[in-house]
Structure 1
Amino acid sequence: MLDDLNILVVEDEALLAVDLSITLEDEGACVTGPCFSLDSAMETSASAVDAAVLDVDLRGTPVFPLADRLAAEGKPFVFHTGRADLCELRRRYGDDVPILIKPTRPEDLVRTLAAAVTAG
């Protein structure tokens, strides 16, 4: 479903990052990362990725600068978060950016990401 797409994974929990990466690779994607911090993610060229899965809070640092850059470049992304309050995400990015609440079933992640890429 994600054949030959280059997906950036930004997640600060190592085991979850590996699990996300395996799920995406099993669906045919090439994974960039995972990136465990905003700094390492920002070093990744947005032009080199087709889409991204973003944890919102990276050890206390919001992922918003990267999300803003991806949005400005027209790159689709999905928030994957454990946040209980989603108001700021909706205020900043509207209803068009999908938000998945941890834990997420692998098939939901794949389906949501594929839909975001198709819509983007």
Structure 2
Amino acid sequence: MSPVPPDGSPCPADVLVVEDDPIIAIDFEDRLFGFGVTSVRTVGSVRQALGAIANRPPDFALLDVELTRETSFAVAERLVALKIPFVFVTGYGAEARIPPEFAGRPRLQKPCSSDALEAALRTRGA
């Protein structure tokens, strides 16, 4: 059973973090566990992310836009097809080149505050 905060929004149980920087990935993982997420899976590439999704679709995902030599947009397409909520995470802010089909998707600016991360998690990026 996922913990439920006073506002009644439960945390997703299983979160996929697509992040190629190990320090940032560990930080996200620690904070997600602190919010009550029970499973955090971290991958650093599109191939690994698609494999993780095929193996067990997550309840929610955090997608670093710019991975090493690739972007996470193929992962976003797969999540949209499966109706799995996600949030883009970027260190580039408004300059991040997001394709038009994802322009309305929520984004978190790196580094993001714990409050912003928890809000994205609890609202499922809506």
TM-score range, shorter chain: 0.7 to 0.9
Task: Find out whether 1:9 has 2:17 as its counterpart.
Answer: yes
Question: Share of identical aligned residues, percent?
Answer: 31
Aligned to 2:47: 39
TM-score (norm 1): 0.85
Aligned to 2:84: 75
In structure 1, distance between residues paired with 2:91 and 2:107: 10
Structure 1 unaligned blocks of 5 or more: none
Aligned to 1:65: 74
Aligned to 2:64: 55
In structure 2, distance between residues paired with 1:23 and 1:116: 16
Matched residue SS, 1:100: strand
Change over 3 Å in CA distance of 1:72–1:15 after alignment to 2: same
In structure 2, distance between residues paired with 1:89 and 1:113: 21
In structure 2, distance between residues paired with 1:90 and 1:54: 14
Cα shift at 1:11: 0.4
Aligned-residue Cα RMSD (Å) equals 1.9
In structure 2, distance between residues paired with 1:106 and 1:115: 14
Matched residue SS, 2:62: strand
Aligned to 2:109: 101
- What letter corresponds to residue 39 of structure 1 in structure 2? R
Matched residue SS, 2:39: strand
Task: Find out whether 1:115 has 2:123 as its counterpart.
Answer: yes
- Which of the numbers 14, 21, 28 marks the counterpart of 2:36? 28
- Contact residue 7 and residue 49 of structure 1 kept, 8 A: yes
Structure 2 unaligned blocks of 5 or more: none
In structure 2, distance between residues paired with 1:67 and 1:111: 20
Cα shift at 1:90: 6.1
- Contact residue 32 and residue 49 of structure 1 kept, 8 A: no
What is the total number of aligned residue pairs between the two structures?
116
